[in-house]
Chains A and B, each alone.
Chain A
Amino acid sequence: MPPLLSVRNVTRRFEGLTALNDVSMEVEPRTIAGVIGPNGAGKTTLFNVLTGFYRPTSGEVWFEGRRIDRLPLHGIAAAGISRTFQNIRLFANMTAIENVLVGQHIHLKTNFATAIVRPPSVTREERSAVKTAVELLRFAGLTRRENELARNLAYGEQRRLEIARALAVRPRLLLLDEPTAGMNPGEAAGMIKLIRALRDDMLMTIVLIEHSMRVVMGVCERITVLDHGEKISEGRPEEVQQDRRVIEAYLGTGQIITDGRA
C-alpha cells in the first residue's frame, strides 16, 4: 500500500534556529505512528508544517498523492487532515456541542442567504449535524456534557473534546499533539483506550506526539524520534528503545526514557 502521508526532506528555520532539519517520514494507512523527542526537538513544529501553520523552508509534504505544503490553513482540513493542539485550543466560550459543530463546518452547506430564509433543507441539515455531534461526543466519552461551555469542562474532558472536534472534520489523518499531557494515570489510560478505538473502530490513521514512552510503546506501530530538529531514529517501538542515539538524546535532558517528562 502506498503511504498516506509522506514528509520529504522538510527543513524549517526560524531566524538562526533550525527547528526541523531535513526530516523525512512516511505514515501507512490505518496505523498509529508516534513522534517523540525531548523538549524543543521540533515535534510540534512538524505538526505545524503538516497542517499549514508554517510553510517548510524547504522540502515537501504529500498526502494521498497530493502535495499539500502550499495549501492555505483551511485547505488542509478539506484535504482530510485535522489535529489537536498541545496547549488546548478549544473555542472556550462555545459549548461542547458547538465546538463539534464548528468541526463539521466543511461538511455543511448553509450560507448567509439560506440562513436568513431558513428553508427546510437548512433545518434538516442543522438537525442531522447536531445528531452527528452528539454521537461524536458520546464516542469521546462526553455524554451529557453537550451544553457545557468548553472552558468549564475538566482538563481531561477538554482534551477529549478536542479530539471529538477534530473527528468532526472527518479526517483521514488525525494528528494528536501530546494527548495525555498533564493527565493522571487513570485519565491517560482512558485516553489510550480512546486512541486505540479510533484506529480499530473508526479505521483512522493517527500520528501522535508523546513524551511518555509508556504511551508510545503501548499504542504505536512505528516511532520517529526527533532531537534538535533532526530525525535520529525510526522504527518499531522496541527497535527505537534500544537505539543508542535515542538513549543519549534522552539522557542529556535528564528525562527518564520510560516514564515521560517530569
Chain B
Amino acid sequence: MEQWIQLFIDGTTIGGVYAVIALGYTMVYGVLRMINFAHGELFMMGAFAGFYTLDAYQQHSGLNDSLPVFTIASAIVAGMITAVVLAVVMERIAYRPLRHAPRLAPLISAIGVSIFLRNVMLRVTNAEAQVYPRVFPRGAIEWGDVSVSYIRIFLLVLSVFFLVLLWLFIERTKMGMSIRAVAEDRDTAALMGVNVDRTIVMTFVVGAALAGAAGAVYGMFVTTATAGMGFIPGIKAFTAAVLGGIGSVPGAMAGGYFLGITESLSTKFIGAQYKDVVAFVLLVLVLIFRPWGIFGKREDKRA
C-alpha cells in the first residue's frame, strides 16, 4: 500500500509539470491548429532563466536563508518573462507570416525555432550542464515508508496553483473567452469583434508563461539545466495534451497527471530505462485508437 502511495505521489509530481507544459501545446493547437514544436524549448529557456537568476543571487549575496522565498519567486518570474518574450517574438517572426500557408510550413518553421534555441543555449553553456544552486532545504516529510521531499511538495502545490490560475483565466476573463471563441471558430470570432491577432498572441503568452515557470521549477527539482532538456518533457507534455484530447484545457491537465502516474508505475514494474518507451507507446496507442483523446469527444467526418 505504502509503495503504491509513493508511486502515486512521485507520478503526480512530474505529472503536474507535464500538465503545466501541456497547456501551452493544447491552447496553441486550439487557436492555430498547429503543433508548436518549439514549446519544449520555451520550457528549457525558462529553466535557464531560473538558473541565471539563482546564480546571480548566489554570486551577489549568497543563498543562506533556509528557504529564500523571494529568490525562488523571482527565479520563477524570470523564467516566465523569458519564455513570454521569446514566444511573442517567435509568433511574430516565425509563425504569423505562415498562418495561411499549408500546414507543413509552420511546423518546419517551428522545428527551426526549436533547433535555433537549443543550439544557442548549447553555445552559451559550452554544452555543459549548469548546476542549480541549492535553494530548497534537504529533507522530506516521512509517513511510514512514504517519503516526499520538500521540493516535490512545492512542485505539487505550485502546479495545482498554476492550473487553477489558468482555469480561472480561461473561464472568467474576457481574454479567456476570446481564446475559447477563436479556438471554436476563428472566422466567426473575428466577425463578432474578437481581435484574433491579439488573442493568438495572448495564447502564446499564457502558454509560454506556464512553460517558463515549469522550466524554472523543474530546474530546481532536477538541479540542472541543459540545452537539450526541453525535448523529452516537451514530447511528454505533448503526449499529455493528446491523451486529454488536444485542444482541451481540462484534458491537458488530466492527461499530464495520467502520464506522470503511468510513468511512475512503469518505472517500478517495467524498468526505468523503458520509462520513455512507455510514454511513446502510450502516445502512439492513443493516437491510433482514440485520436480525439481519452477524455475528448469524437468528431465525425463530413462530405
Contact = CB atoms under 8 A, between A and B. Distances in A.
A66 to B, nearest CB: 22
A48 interface: yes
B300 interface: yes
Contacts of A48: 302-303
Majority secondary structure, B binding face: loop
A24 interface: no
A228 B43 CA distance: 51
B301 interface: yes
Interface string B271-303: 000000000000000000000000000001111
Nearest to A47: B303
B300 A14 contact: yes
Given A14-B300, A53-B303, 8 more contacts: A44-B303, A47-B303, A48-B302, A48-B303, A51-B303, A53-B301, A85-B303, A89-B303
A14 B300 CA distance: 8
A179 B123 CA distance: 62
A175 B277 CA distance: 49
Interface of B: 300-303
A150 B301 CA distance: 24
Interface in A170-210: none
A54 interface: yes
Interface in A58-106: 85, 89
Contact of B300 (A51, A54, A89): A54
Nearest to B303: A53
A48 B303 CA distance: 7
A89 B301 CA distance: 15
Interface residues of A, number: 9
A44 B300 CA distance: 15
A151 B187 CA distance: 23
Contacts of A47: 303
A47 B302 CA distance: 11
Contacts of A53: 301, 303
5 contacts: A14-B300, A44-B303, A47-B303, A53-B303, A54-B300
Nearest to B297: A15
B20 to A, nearest CB: 32
Contacts of B301: 53
Nearest to A177: B303
A54 B300 CA distance: 9
A87 to B, nearest CB: 9
A117 to B, nearest CB: 32
Nearest to A86: B303
Contacts of B302: 48
Contacts of B300: 14, 54
Nearest to A54: B300
A213 B300 CA distance: 31
Nearest to A14: B300
A44 B303 CA distance: 8
Nearest to B300: A14
Q: Which of B300, B301, B302, B303: most chain A Cβ within 10 A?
A: B303
A14 B299 CA distance: 10
Nearest to B298: A15
Contacts of A51: 303
A51 B301 CA distance: 14
A70 to B, nearest CB: 17
A54 B301 CA distance: 8
Interface string A29-61: 000000000000000100110010110000000
A48 B302 CA distance: 8
B35 to A, nearest CB: 24
A89 B302 CA distance: 12
A7 B101 CA distance: 43
A175 to B, nearest CB: 11
Q: Which 10 A-B pairs have the closest CB atoms?
A: A53-B303, A48-B303, A14-B300, A85-B303, A44-B303, A53-B301, A54-B300, A51-B303, A47-B303, A89-B303
Contacts of A44: 303
